[in-house]
Homo-oligomer: A and B are copies of this chain.
Amino acid sequence: MREDVIGRSRVIDTPELEAYYAQLGRFEAGALWTVANDIEPWFPRPASVPVIWRYRDLRPLVRQAPALVKPEDAGRRVVMLVNPKRREISAAVGLLYTGLQVMNAGECASAHKHAASALRFIMEGSGAFTVVDGERMTLGARDFVLTPVGTWHEHGVDESGTQCIWQDGLDIPLVNALDANFFTVHPNLQQPVTQPIDSSYAAYSRGFLQPAFLRQNWKKPYSPLLKYPWEPTYEALCAASRCHEGSPYDGILMEYVNPITGGAVMPTIGASMQLLPPGLRTRAHRHTGSFVYQVAKGRGCAVIDGCRYDFEEKDIFALPSWSIHEFHNASDTDDLCLFSFNDLPVMRALALYQEQAYAENGGHQPITASA
């Protein structure tokens, strides 16, 4: 790609150069100037595009899956949500994967571990549970649960429960891009439960008060708190919203944190829940980092790069890096809550985070399309 700007590649190819390129090719080499402008863009140009997956479309298909495949054959029975421009790496956006997993009462997947880090956000059903390194956690709607890098984990639904659907989020495309993925099936297929149910939440239920007897031995690179239930989360958001205006771009945005460090829950994936009070319209901005959102409560819309995406509860949408975005709570009476997970811990650890307010037009994008 030739750009006629000083400091950029603007070589005009000639037969002589073509011959030179051919010679370079013989030795697994090439001329940088033939690709420089492409691989060094002026600003991020993600392959990923914004996408919205509406739950009313997907739910019937997800609920159909149990009739089609058995969990023991599928490994995990998941409808994955794939960015149309990242099909080759099964990414929802950037290097993040997401999907909707469904299990019937009494089903249980086999235990495994992997170098990828995972999270779950429960969407519907009762009786779901996850076991992580010997701790069994009971899960209800909008609970958020971690299965971090290298942990033995498995999911299931109690015999007494109902069909459950949850969103999985993983960094599989990232870990694959870094050539660092490992996968192991548990030798016994199910791991023993060695601790009281929900014991990490029992220990860290207040976050600012921490069990010295557990903390002092924690050496892992992720949060010792594995389940973040919805009820205290929503209470905390409401309490904060009574005292604080929050961010102009995100309202009352609260990060789920690793209480030991105050940092992200896992080294590669951050997660947040944000509340927009009734009627709030945030200002637009953009930043590096890829995000997958789920509408946890309420309805409204996002405007991403000028396109409007109306959404309802349980809809999922993807925000590519450096896309201009803003949110609107369409209700005058109800809160809008957005759950999201992202690769911000990667951006920050690698010093790649950049942010820019959208200054034009009073901070709101002109809407040029809707999806």
Question: Copy number of this protein in the oligomer?
Answer: 4
Say yes or no: B51 contacts A205, CB within 8 Å: no
Say yes or no: B83 contacts A256, CB within 8 Å: no
Stretch at the interface among A69-77, A300-308, A324-332, A358-366: A69-77
The 8 closest A-B pairs by CB, nearest first: A207-B207, A7-B185, A179-B321, A207-B208, A202-B243, A32-B78, A349-B349, A221-B351
Question: Residue-by-residue, is A268-305 near B (CB-CB < 8 Å gives 1, otherwise 0)?
Answer: 10001100000000000000111000000000000000
Residue of B nearest to A27 (CB): B57
Residue of B nearest to A184 (CB): B42
Chain B residue contacts of A346, Cβ below 8 A: 178, 349-350
**Does chain B have a CB within 8 A of A309?**
no
Stretch at the interface among A124-132, A156-164, A227-235: A227-235
Chain B residue contacts of A68, Cβ below 8 A: 16-17, 20
Residue of B nearest to A228 (CB): B208
**Which residues in chain A, 44-93, are within 8 Å of chain B measured between CB atoms?**
44-48, 51, 53-54, 57-58, 61, 64-65, 68-69, 72-84, 87, 89-90
**Which residues in chain A, 125-160, are within 8 Å of chain B measured between CB atoms?**
149
Taking A72-B6, A76-B32 as contacts, is the C-beta distance between A259 and B262 under 8 angstroms? yes
Q: A27-B61, A208-B257, A268-B351 are in contact. List 10 more A-B contacts (CB 8 A).
A: A20-B64, A31-B80, A32-B76, A42-B183, A44-B181, A180-B322, A207-B209, A210-B262, A221-B351, A268-B350
Say yes or no: A202 contacts B351, CB within 8 Å: no
Chain B residue contacts of A7, Cβ below 8 A: 75, 110-112, 185-186, 189
Query: How far is it, in angstroms, between the C-alpha of A97 and the C-alpha of B97 when the chains are bound?
Result: 26
Say yes or no: A205 contacts B235, CB within 8 Å: yes
Shortest CB distance A234–B (Å): 10
Shortest CB distance A212–B (Å): 5
**Does chain B have a CB within 8 A of A169?**
no
**Which residues in chain A, 98-118, are within 8 Å of chain B measured between CB atoms?**
99, 110-112, 114-116
Q: How many residues of A contact B (CB 8 A)?
A: 151
Chain B residue contacts of A165, Cβ below 8 A: none
Query: How far is it, in angstroms, between the C-alpha of A10 and the C-alpha of B237 when the chains are bound?
Result: 43
**Does chain B have a CB within 8 A of A341?**
no
Say yes or no: A321 contacts B178, CB within 8 Å: yes
Say yes or no: A208 contacts B212, CB within 8 Å: no
**Which residues in chain A, 162-205, are within 8 Å of chain B measured between CB atoms?**
172-186, 189, 195-196, 198-199, 201-205
Say yes or no: A114 contacts B211, CB within 8 Å: no
**Does chain B have a CB within 8 A of A367?**
no
Say yes or no: B6 contacts A182, CB within 8 Å: no
**Does chain B have a CB within 8 A of A354?**
yes
Q: Which of B36, B173, B199, B343 contacts A76 (CB 8 A)?
A: B36
Query: How far is it, in angstroms, between the C-alpha of A78 and the C-alpha of B9 when the chains are bound?
Result: 11
Shortest CB distance A114–B (Å): 6
Shortest CB distance A71–B (Å): 10
**Does chain B have a CB within 8 A of A369?**
no
